[in-house]
A and B are shown apart, each in its own frame.
Chain A
Amino acid sequence: MTNKIEEPTVIPLQTPSGHACETCPAHRAGNLVRLGIDMTDWDYVIALAGNPNTGKSTIFNALTGLRQHTGNWPGKTVSRAEGGYSYGDHRYKLVDLPGTYSLLSTSLDEEVARNFILFGQPDVTIIVADATRLERNLNLVLQVLEITDRAVLALNLVDEAKRHGLKVDDRSLARDLGIPVVPMAARRREGMPELLEAVHEVATGKVVCKPHRIKSEPPTLKKAVSELVAQLTASFPTLPNPRWVAMRLLDGDQQIMEALQRGELGDLTRDDPGQTTGHLELQLEASHA
Chain B
Amino acid sequence: MLNANSAAPAAPTPQNILDTATRLRWEVSGGVHESLVEAIYTDAARIADRAVIYPDKPPRFNLDRAIDQIVTSRLFGFPLMLLLFTLVFWLTISGANVPSDLLGRFFLDTIHPLLKSASAAIGLPWWLDGLLIDGIYLATAWVVSVMLPPMAIFFPLFTLLEDFGYLPRVAFNLDNIFKKSGAHGKQALSMMMGFGCNAAGVVATRVIDSPRERLIAIITNNFALCNGRWPTQILIASLFIGALVPAYIGGLISALAVVGVATLGVLLSFAVSWSLSRTVLRGEASTFSLELPPYRPPRFWQTIYTSLIDRTLYVLWRAIVFAAPAGAIIWLTANIQVGGISIAEHIINALNPVGWLLGLNGVILLAYIVAIPANEIVIPTMLMMTVLITGVNGGAGAGVMFQGNDAQTMSMLQAGGWTLLTAVNLMLFSLIHNPCSTTIYTIYKETGSAKWTAVSALLPLIMGFVVTFLVAQVWRLVAGM
A–B contact with Cβ pairs below 8 Å: the answer is yes
A contact residues vs B (CB 8 Å cutoff):
52-53, 58, 61, 70, 77-79, 104, 107, 109, 132, 134-136, 138-139, 141-143, 160, 164-170, 172-173, 176-177, 187, 212, 214-218, 220-221, 223-224, 226-228, 230-232, 234-235, 246-247, 249-252, 257, 260-263, 274, 284-285, 287-288
Q: A262 to B2, alpha carbons, bound, how many Å? A: 26
Q: A224-B27, A261-B14 are in contact. Are A217 and B2 (CB under 8 A)?
A: no
What are 12 sample pairs from A and B whose C-beta atoms fall under 8 A apart?
A165-B55, A166-B53, A169-B53, A218-B38, A221-B35, A221-B39, A223-B2, A226-B2, A227-B3, A246-B21, A251-B36, A260-B18
Q: A77-B448, A165-B55, A250-B25 are in contact. Are A176 and B1 (CB under 8 A)?
A: no
Given contacts A168-B52, A173-B51, A228-B24, 9 further A-B contacts (CB under 8 A): A166-B52, A172-B50, A176-B47, A218-B29, A218-B38, A249-B21, A251-B33, A252-B25, A262-B14
Residue numbers in A under 8 Å from B15 (CB-CB): 261
Q: Does B129 contact A (CB under 8 A)?
A: no
A107–B302 CB distance below 8 A: no
B40–A172 CB distance below 8 A: no
Q: Which of A212, A250, A260 contacts B47 (CB 8 A)?
A: A212
Shortest Cβ distance from A219 into chain B, in angstroms?
Answer: 9
Residue numbers in B under 8 Å from A214 (CB-CB): 36, 39-40, 43
Q: Does B293 contact A (CB under 8 A)?
A: yes
Q: Which chain A residue lies CB-closest to B10?
A: A234
A176–B18 CB distance below 8 A: no
Q: A53-B293, A165-B55, A224-B28 are in contact. Are A139 and B39 (CB under 8 A)?
A: no
Residue numbers in B under 8 Å from A212 (CB-CB): 43, 47
Q: Which of B6-36 contact A (CB under 8 A)?
A: 6, 11-18, 20-21, 24-25, 27-30, 32-33, 35-36
Q: A121 to B302, alpha carbons, bound, how many Å? A: 31
Q: How many residues of B contact A (CB 8 A)?
A: 64
Q: For chains A and B in complex, what number of residue pairs have CB atoms within 8 angstroms?
A: 179
Q: A52 to B17, alpha carbons, bound, how many Å? A: 36
Q: Which of B1, B37, B39 contacts A226 (CB 8 A)?
A: B1
Q: Does B44 contact A (CB under 8 A)?
A: yes
Q: Which of B48, B53, B58 contacts A167 (CB 8 A)?
A: B53
Q: Which of B35, B47, B206, B294 contacts A177 (CB 8 A)?
A: B47
Q: A142 to B52, alpha carbons, bound, how many Å? A: 17
Shortest Cβ distance from B30 into chain A, in angstroms?
Answer: 7
Shortest Cβ distance from A158 into chain B, in angstroms?
Answer: 11
Q: Does B408 contact A (CB under 8 A)?
A: no
Q: Which of A141, A218, A287 contacts B30 (CB 8 A)?
A: A218
Q: A168-B52, A177-B47, A221-B28 are in contact. Are A216 and B4 (CB under 8 A)?
A: no
Interface of A, secondary structure class, is helix
Q: A104-B33, A214-B43, A247-B36 are in contact. Are A284 and B283 (CB under 8 A)?
A: yes
Closest 10 CB pairs of A and B: A165-B55, A138-B44, A230-B3, A216-B42, A135-B48, A224-B24, A53-B293, A249-B21, A167-B53, A173-B51
Q: A218 to B58, alpha carbons, bound, how many Å? A: 35
Q: Which of B287-329 contact A (CB under 8 A)?
A: 291, 293-294, 296, 299, 302, 309-310
Q: A216-B42, A228-B20 are in contact. Are A260 and B14 (CB under 8 A)?
A: yes
B17–A218 CB distance below 8 A: no
A218–B12 CB distance below 8 A: no
A230–B1 CB distance below 8 A: yes
Q: Which chain B residue lies CB-closest to A98?
A: B206
B28–A52 CB distance below 8 A: no
B55–A166 CB distance below 8 A: yes
Q: Does B248 contact A (CB under 8 A)?
A: no
A217–B35 CB distance below 8 A: yes
Residue numbers in A under 8 Å from B17 (CB-CB): 228, 231-232, 235, 249, 260
B47–A138 CB distance below 8 A: yes
Q: Does B45 contact A (CB under 8 A)?
A: yes
Q: Does B446 contact A (CB under 8 A)?
A: yes
Q: Which of A77, A78, A104, A234 contacts B37 (CB 8 A)?
A: A104
Q: Does B175 contact A (CB under 8 A)?
A: no
B44–A169 CB distance below 8 A: no
Q: Does B123 contact A (CB under 8 A)?
A: no
Q: Does B105 contact A (CB under 8 A)?
A: no
Q: Which chain B residue lies CB-closest to A130?
A: B294
Q: Which of B28, B41, B58 contacts A250 (CB 8 A)?
A: B28
Q: Does B451 contact A (CB under 8 A)?
A: yes
Shortest Cβ distance from B67 into chain A, in angstroms?
Answer: 14
Q: Which chain B residue lies CB-closest to A245?
A: B17
Q: A52-B293, A53-B294 are in contact. Are A104 and B36 (CB under 8 A)?
A: yes
Shortest Cβ distance from B209 into chain A, in angstroms?
Answer: 6
Q: Which chain A residue lies CB-closest to B165?
A: A53
A138–B48 CB distance below 8 A: yes
Residue numbers in B under 8 Å from A135 (CB-CB): 41, 44-45, 48, 52
Q: Does B5 contact A (CB under 8 A)?
A: yes
Q: A58 to B296, alpha carbons, bound, how many Å? A: 12
Residue numbers in A under 8 Å from B125 (CB-CB): none
Q: A74 to B54, alpha carbons, bound, how many Å? A: 44
Shortest Cβ distance from A256 into chain B, in angstroms?
Answer: 10
Q: Which of A77, A176, A257 contacts B206 (CB 8 A)?
A: A77
B446–A231 CB distance below 8 A: no
Q: A172 to B48, alpha carbons, bound, how many Å? A: 9
Q: A220 to B14, alpha carbons, bound, how many Å? A: 23
Residue numbers in A under 8 Å from B451 (CB-CB): 285
Residue numbers in B under 8 Å from A107 (CB-CB): 209
Residue numbers in B under 8 Å from A261 (CB-CB): 14-15, 18
